[in-house]
Amino acid sequence: MTANWNLLGHNWAVDMLRRHIATGEARHAYLFAGPGGLGRRSLALAFARALNCTNPPAPGDFCGQCRDCRQIAAKQHPDLSIVEPTIKDPDDRNALIPAQYGEIRISQIRDLQRMINLKPYQGKYRVVVGERFNQANTEASNAFLKTLEEPPAQVVLLLTTDNPESLLPTIVSRCEVLRLRPLPIEEVQRELERRGTESHQAELIAHISGGRPGYAFRLAEDQSLLEFRQQRLDDLQRLLSSSRVDKFAYAEKLAKDKDAMRQTFLVWESFWRDVFLHASKADSPLANVDRAEEIDSLAARLNMSAARQRVNEVERALQQMERNVNARLLAEVLLLNWS
């Protein structure tokens, strides 16, 4: 039997999904909810392997070696469809390319609907993984609802989202919702150390990840992500005492790359949340443990309400980015509010 489907954490979710397969009670639609980097996609793909494995070592498990298991792991199975947010290809306006901050469009849902009405080509089930489905636009969401209302036989729909409340209530109500939670910091640190990360670095990364194993593994594998974070936190400290002219110049530069801008806001959001937690004397571990001195200094100067306002401002900025507001203006307003 594959221990916990080779996943770190979420044992309860694996046990439930394994039981659904073993008893023949798999639902037609599941919604894996929780912050990015938590392992939502990994859990969905493991479930897809267990659904279609031709040589399961135990009911509800997967072997990992059969053709179906290997193809699903490589995301190349003929009965596996992955739908994810896209943007229009700048080199071919009639084509779509995957993008972290794009949207799921009605054309993608229509293509999906034509495909899932066909019988499985190779496996027992056709499996659809709808990644970050909270980024589906209104037309796509309404079209997909029709599929949920009348699901084809031998089709299992697996959606992921940061927050179920960001989806249409009628979509959520037709799914089995699994709310995934971050793991204990210590558990993520131990796994990083087991994979070869030095103890001090593993501790820092585990804290930065907030208990999200997927995010932690990416940080451990890509040094540039940690360097980016370090630079953006240095920028934040400098900007707090910078002139309006410097803030305008920084905002102009930041807005030229929306992907980097969003990642910057996420770094800043994490930092301000630490300041808020420290100001409120909450008994929660800091994400940015290497910045404890700066966090302590700001928490002493800001009251709890002001610290919470900083968090809210970054959260609003992130939400507005998804609505395609003017990026430069958004960055300018955010920075001018901070002193």
Query: Would you write out the chain's pLDDT as a tens digit for each of its 339 residues?
Result: 567 899 999 999 999 999 999 999 999 999 999 999 999 999 999 999 999 999 999 999 999 999 999 999 999 999 999 999 998 877 777 788 887 778 999 999 999 999 999 999 999 999 999 999 999 999 999 999 999 998 888 999 999 999 999 999 999 999 999 999 999 999 999 999 999 999 999 999 999 999 999 999 999 999 999 999 999 999 999 999 999 999 999 999 999 998 899 999 999 999 999 999 999 998 889 999 999 999 999 999 998 999 999 999 999 999 888 777 899 999 999 999 887
Residue 140 corresponds to which amino acid?
A
59 and 9 within one domain: yes
Q: What's the start-to-end Cα distance of the chain, in Å? A: 57
14 and 150 within one domain: yes
Q: What CATH number does the domain containing 174 carry? A: 3.40.50.300
* pLDDT for res 312: 95
169 and 43 within one domain: yes
- The predicted-structure confidence for 44-55, as pLDDT tens digits, reads as follows 999 999 999 999
pTM: 0.88
* pLDDT for res 170: 96
166 and 240 within one domain: no
* pLDDT for res 2: 64
159 and 217 within one domain: no
- The predicted-structure confidence for 158-187, as pLDDT tens digits, reads as follows 999 999 999 999 999 999 999 999 999 999
Per the structure, the complete domain to which residue 57 belongs is given by 3-179
Q: Count of domains in the chain?
A: 3
